[in-house]
Amino acid sequence: MPVTPAWTDLVTKYQGSDFRRSVRQICNSFIPFVALLVLMYFSLSVSYWLTLAMAIPAAGFLARIFIIQHDCGHGSFFKSTQANDRLGFICGILTMTPYKYWRLCHSIHHRGASNLAKRSIGSIRTLTVNEYRGLSRWGKLCYRAYRHPMTLFGVGAFFNFVVAQRFTFTSFARKEWPSLHWTNLTLAGLLVLSILTIGFKALVLVYAPIMLVASSVGTWLFYVQHQYEDTYWISDEEWDYSLAALRGSSYYKLPTVLRWFTGNIGFHHVHHLSPRIPNYNLHRCHEENPIFQQATVLTIGSSIRTASLHLWDEAKQRLVSFEDLKRSA
């Protein structure tokens, strides 16, 4: 894929936030989400099936709120750093994600995306074929369990957002520990308030299905935007920022309504080229510049196969499945 440095000039006009569009996005994301929470609570006395049905659009709005948090973390949603951080923290309460800790991990992901030497932080664990072959039997079993769709996009995704992120006190993020404490304290306060007003059972019945759906969808989006057969992984010495963005990030072509709920994050190749582009400008940037249309295109249908890819084959320069590895042995 030919890549030129021209993209640095092309993205400039799409960078920078539009205050009115940002405020409008806050309104059309937060207000419907809160309204659905209220409706879901009152629906408990009617039918829990109705409650669960409303959990699906509620999860969509929560995913959209996460994208706002994501933009705040990149400093692209508002011009003011303070405004981004305050809104990002509020979003992080609803998504149960410590804002500043996540921001640090995500920035590490951007700096090392598609770099074989920098796969540990902020990314889904991906081993090479040789690394996998070097594992013990127990190690292979654990990796297989981790890469199973039910783990990555089901139980594991829910556990990561709801439980694991309460305890991510890692040494590399020591400066971000206050963010973890404040997020946990705020969540604890909201938990107590909810118990005193609507009760613990109602809280779980309403918010748990939302988090289950939203965490699964969010993890799937992050996965499919980097984990596809002809993606890009390279050694540290050969790593190139432009190639990592255009070849290591997909264009996930979603229907218009899903593109709206996911805040255009499907244009992930454009986002990785320039994280300072707010989500509402990604579509226009992609459409108006042919260079960005060279990225790998995935649809909902074609993306399903990516869930069966598990290992990076350095010899073949593509992701392969455990079955592919067994056949080639």
Tell me how far apart the alpha carbons of residues 267 and 283 are, in angstroms, rounded to a whole number: 7
Residue 260 phi/psi, 5-degree rounding, is -65, -50
Q: CA-to-CA distance for 173 and 283, rounded, in angstroms?
A: 33
- pTM for this prediction: 0.93
Contact 260, 305 (CB under 8 A): no
Structure tokens at 182: 């404040």
Would you say residue 163 has pLDDT above 50? Answer: yes
- Is 43 within 8 Å of 54 (Cβ atoms)? yes
Q: For residue 284, what are the contacts with CB-CB under 8 A and spacing of at least 6?
A: 14
> What is the DSSP secondary structure assignment for residue 316, as one 8-state letter?
T
Per-residue confidence (pLDDT) for residue 329, from 0 to 100:
65
Q: Is the pLDDT of residue 193 over 70?
A: yes
Note the pLDDT of residue 3.
46
Distance CA 277, CA 12 (A): 9
pLDDT digits (tens, 9 = 90+) for 40-69: 999 999 999 999 999 999 999 999 999 999
pLDDT tens sequence across 216-232: 999 999 999 999 999 99
| Residue 6 pLDDT class (50, 70, 90 cuts) | low
User: Contacts from 167-172 at CB under 8 Å and sequence distance 24+?
Assistant: 168/98, 168/101, 172/121
Rounded Cα distance, 10 and 164, in Å: 40
Helices (H), the chain: 7-10, 19-43, 48-73, 81-95, 99-112, 129-133, 137-147, 149-150, 156-162, 177-197, 200-224, 241-248, 256-261, 268-273, 279-288, 300-303, 322-328
DSSP sequence for 112-137: HTTBTT--SSSS---EEHHHHHTS-H
